[in-house]
Chains A and B, each alone.
Chain A
Amino acid sequence: MARVTLRKLVKNYEETPAVRGIDLDIADKEFVVLVGPSGCGKSTTLRMIAGLEDITGGEVLIGDEVVNDMPPKDRDIAMVFQNYALYPHMTVYENMSFGLRLKKVDKAEIAKRVENAARILDISELLQRKPKQLSGGQRQRVAMGRAIVRDPKVFLFDEPLSNLDAKLRVQMRTEIKKVHQKVRTTTVYVTHDQVEAMTLADRVVVMNGGVIEQVGTPNDLYHFPATRFVAGFIGSPAMNFIPCRLEVAGGGLAARLSPEIAFPVPHAREARYRPYLDSGNLLFGLRPEHIVEQRPHAESDQHAFEVPLEVTEPMGMETLVYFEIGGVEVCGRVNPNAGAQSGHRMKLVADLANMHLIDAASGKVL
Chain B
Amino acid sequence: MAVARTSMKGDRRKAMIWSYVFLGMFVVFFLTPPVYMLITSLKSNAEISAAVSPWWIFAPTLENYVELLSSPTYLTFFRNSALVSILVVTITMLVSIPAAFALSRMKFWGSATLATGVFLTYLIPETLLFIPLFKIFVFVHDLTGIELINRWWVLVILYPTLTVPFCTWIMIGYFGSIPKELDEAALIDGAGYLQILTKIFIPVALPGIIAATIFAFTVSWAQFLYPLAFTTSADQLVLPVGIITTLIRGDVFTWGQIMTGALLGAAPPLIIYAFLMDYYIAGLTAGATKG
A102, B195: Cβ atoms under 8 Å? Answer: yes
B187, A71: Cβ atoms under 8 Å? Answer: yes
Distance between Cα atoms of A86 and B178 in the complex (Å) = 11
Which residues of A30-86 have CB atoms within 8 Å of chain B's CB atoms? 50-52, 71-73, 77-79, 81-83, 85-86
B184, A102: Cβ atoms under 8 Å? Answer: no
Interface residues on B, range: 10 to 19
B190 within 8 A of A: yes
| Chain B contact surface mostly | helix
A98, B189: Cβ atoms under 8 Å? Answer: yes
A-B contact count (CB 8 A): 58
A81, B191: Cβ atoms under 8 Å? Answer: no
Considering only CB atoms and an 8 Å cut-off, how many residues of chain A contact the other chain? Answer: 23
B-chain residues with CB within 8 Å of residue A73 when the two chains form the complex: 187-192
B200 within 8 A of A: yes
B203 within 8 A of A: yes
Distance between Cα atoms of A99 and B41 in the complex (Å) = 59
Q: Which of A52, A83, A89, A99 contacts B203 (CB 8 A)?
A: A89
Select from chain B the residue with minimum beta-carbon distance to A143.
Answer: B185
B204, A89: Cβ atoms under 8 Å? Answer: yes
Distance between Cα atoms of A102 and B195 in the complex (Å) = 9
B204, A79: Cβ atoms under 8 Å? Answer: no
Tell me, rounded to whole Å, the shortest Cβ–Cβ distance linking B287 to chain A.
15
Q: When each residue 177-216 of chain B gets 1 if its CB lies under 8 Å from chain A and 0 otherwise, what string results? A: 0010110111111111001000110011010000000000
A85, B182: Cβ atoms under 8 Å? Answer: yes
A87, B181: Cβ atoms under 8 Å? Answer: no
A72, B195: Cβ atoms under 8 Å? Answer: no
A316 within 8 A of B: no
Tell me, rounded to whole Å, the shortest Cβ–Cβ distance linking B198 to chain A.
12
> Provided the pairs A52-B184, A79-B185 are in contact, do residues A85 and B179 lie with their beta carbons within 8 angstroms?
yes
A103 within 8 A of B: yes
Distance between Cα atoms of A73 and B186 in the complex (Å) = 9
A88 within 8 A of B: yes
Q: When each residue 208-246 of chain A gets 1 if its CB lies under 8 Å from chain B and 0 otherwise, what string results? A: 000000000000000000000000000000000000000
> Provided the pairs A83-B179, A83-B181 are in contact, do residues A78 and B188 lie with their beta carbons within 8 angstroms?
yes
Tell me, rounded to whole Å, the shortest Cβ–Cβ distance linking B267 to chain A.
32
Tell me, rounded to whole Å, the shortest Cβ–Cβ distance linking A4 to chain B.
15
> Provided the pairs A81-B181, A85-B182 are in contact, do residues A52 and B187 lie with their beta carbons within 8 angstroms?
yes
Which residues of B149-194 have CB atoms within 8 Å of chain A's CB atoms? 179, 181-182, 184-192
B200, A87: Cβ atoms under 8 Å? Answer: yes
Distance between Cα atoms of A71 and B188 in the complex (Å) = 8
A99, B182: Cβ atoms under 8 Å? Answer: no
B-chain residues with CB within 8 Å of residue A83 when the two chains form the complex: 179, 181
> Provided the pairs A52-B187, A77-B188, A81-B185 are in contact, do residues A87 and B195 lie with their beta carbons within 8 angstroms?
no
Tell me, rounded to whole Å, the shortest Cβ–Cβ distance linking B25 to chain A.
38
Select from chain B the residue with minimum beta-carbon distance to A77.
Answer: B188
Distance between Cα atoms of A151 and B185 in the complex (Å) = 15
The winner among B184, B185, B206 for most chain A CB atoms within 10 A is B185
Distance between Cα atoms of A71 and B196 in the complex (Å) = 15
B195, A81: Cβ atoms under 8 Å? Answer: no
A-chain residues with CB within 8 Å of residue B191 when the two chains form the complex: 73, 98, 102
Distance between Cα atoms of A52 and B186 in the complex (Å) = 11
A72, B188: Cβ atoms under 8 Å? Answer: yes
B-chain residues with CB within 8 Å of residue A51 when the two chains form the complex: 187-188
B-chain residues with CB within 8 Å of residue A88 when the two chains form the complex: 204
Distance between Cα atoms of A140 and B110 in the complex (Å) = 37
Tell me, rounded to whole Å, the shortest Cβ–Cβ distance linking A248 to chain B.
60
> Provided the pairs A73-B191, A99-B189 are in contact, do residues A79 and B179 lie with their beta carbons within 8 angstroms?
no
A-chain residues with CB within 8 Å of residue B184 when the two chains form the complex: 50, 52, 72, 79, 81, 85
Select from chain B the residue with minimum beta-carbon distance to A47.
Answer: B184
Distance between Cα atoms of A89 and B206 in the complex (Å) = 10
B-chain residues with CB within 8 Å of residue A71 when the two chains form the complex: 187
B181, A85: Cβ atoms under 8 Å? Answer: yes
A-chain residues with CB within 8 Å of residue B179 when the two chains form the complex: 83, 85
Tell me, rounded to whole Å, the shortest Cβ–Cβ distance linking B112 to chain A.
15
A-chain residues with CB within 8 Å of residue B186 when the two chains form the complex: 87, 98
The winner among B179, B181, B199 for most chain A CB atoms within 10 A is B181
A-B contact pairs, 12 of them (CB 8 A): A50-B188, A71-B187, A72-B184, A72-B188, A78-B188, A82-B181, A83-B179, A83-B181, A85-B182, A85-B184, A102-B195, A146-B189
Given contacts A51-B187, A82-B181, 7 further A-B contacts (CB under 8 A): A73-B191, A83-B179, A98-B191, A102-B191, A102-B195, A146-B189, A150-B189
Q: Which 5 A-B pairs have the closest CB atoms?
A: A85-B181, A99-B189, A73-B190, A85-B185, A89-B203
